[in-house]
Structure 1
Amino acid sequence: MRQSQGLSTGSLPDANEACLLGRIAGGDRAAFEQLYRGYFSRLSRFIGRMTRNATLIEEIVNDTMLVVWQKAETFDGSCKPSTWIFAIAYRKTLKGLRGSDDPVESDASLYEDDSGNQPEQAITRLQLQNTVAEALDQLPAAQRAVMVLTYYHEMAYSDIAEVVDCPVNTVKTRMFHARHRLKDLLWNERENGR
């Protein structure tokens, strides 16, 4: 059975991604386009939940993928390709956050699919998403990254540790503090009747 090489969306298996990175290191533009299509929405969601600045999201995705194009030969296989790419995106996001003004609201419909929901359910879901997003915005960037990578990208702590370049125990500590801070923020939102 022949494997499809024309995947355009979703995540690619690690072996396929490593193969694409090898081809990209050799200057294969078609491999780069395939990897870019496979990562664009994933990186957009990650960066969007970190910055909530629509202009910055696209810029950081493009900067991240430019580094992938330029540095593909440095990928040594010591981690998953997705971990390597998300680590680049994380560093680019932190750099972008340092150089940007206050975050602006992004269109949640870019990241979520509400098809099939009743209007009332869609409104309730959007309100909940906005409340959680506002609470996430109040977390320090390091804690926000751990939350987003864990809950929105289903990464293991060991992979997150590689992405954010810290020990696994630091990831666990950041998660502990982020959960408690998020709980307090959401409780205060509820108490204030929002």
Structure 2
Amino acid sequence: MMQLEQFIKTHGEELLRLAYTYVKNKEAAEDIVQDVLLKAFEQHDQFRGEASYRTYLYRMTINRSTDYLRSWSYKNTILTEKFQKLIKGTKSAEQEVLVLSENRTLGEAVLNLPVKYREVIILYYYKELKIDEIAEMLSCSDNTVKTRLRRGREKLKQTLEGGAWDDEFSSEKSY
């Protein structure tokens, strides 16, 4: 049991942040990461080593997150939250945390991007993965990742126009 605890400490927080960027719900992200870590731990000896273990865990988390986004429970949760907001007129706990964050404007802008742009922005800037690692993880070409990064930055710039974050995304980061 001690090995499982160490496995969770090593990978849990990073995967939780990744899952949250997809599902935008803390509890759902925790469930996803729990599933991924348990499955990865149980099947650790079946890892083929074709990619880094970190990339393998990211891919599992991304796949599980997108499965969740396609599920009926997610769609039902979103509908319920919209009705609650209409009735209460208040923000969810996750939104309040973002409002209190000093990077809330950028965080909200990134989370509001379409998934294909959001994932490359997060993997490149926040997880500091290389273009080829992202391409491998997302099963697409390097050029597709570069295009999505460029378009994602453009969308962020449009969203943040006139904000304090213009300078950060207006200059191209070298590939």
TM-score norm. by structure 1 comes to 0.66
Per-residue deviation, 1:85:
0.5
Kept after mapping to 2: 8 A contact 1:48/1:106? no
Which residue is equivalent to 2:151? 177
Which residue identity does 2:104 align to in structure 1? N
Which residue is equivalent to 1:66? 38
| TM-align CA RMSD | 2.5
1:73 aligns to what SS in structure 2? helix
Aligned residues: 147
1:106 aligns to what SS in structure 2? helix
| Structure 2 unmatched ranges of 5 or more | 82-91, 165-175
Q: Deviations over 1:77-96 (max 9, x none)?
A: 12111001101001111112
Residue 106 (1) aligns with residue 94 (2): yes
Of 143, 146, 161, 2:117 maps to 143
Per-residue deviation, 1:30:
3.6
Map 1:1-194 → 2, pairs under 5 A: 29-99=1-71, 100=74, 101-102=77-78, 106=94, 126-127=101-102, 129-187=103-161
Which residue identity does 1:147 align to in structure 2? I
1:58 aligns to what SS in structure 2? helix
| Structure 1 unmatched ranges of 5 or more | 1-28, 112-122
Which structure has more RCO (C-alpha within 8 Å, separation ≥ 6)? 1
Identity of aligned residues (%): 27
Determine the C-alpha separation between the residues in 2 that align with 1:48 and 1:164.
17
Determine the C-alpha separation between the residues in 2 that align with 1:138 and 1:107.
12
Kept after mapping to 1: 8 A contact 2:7/2:41? no
Q: Which consecutive aligned stretches of 4+ in structure 1 deviate over 6 angstroms post-superposition?
A: none
Which residue identity does 2:136 align to in structure 1? E
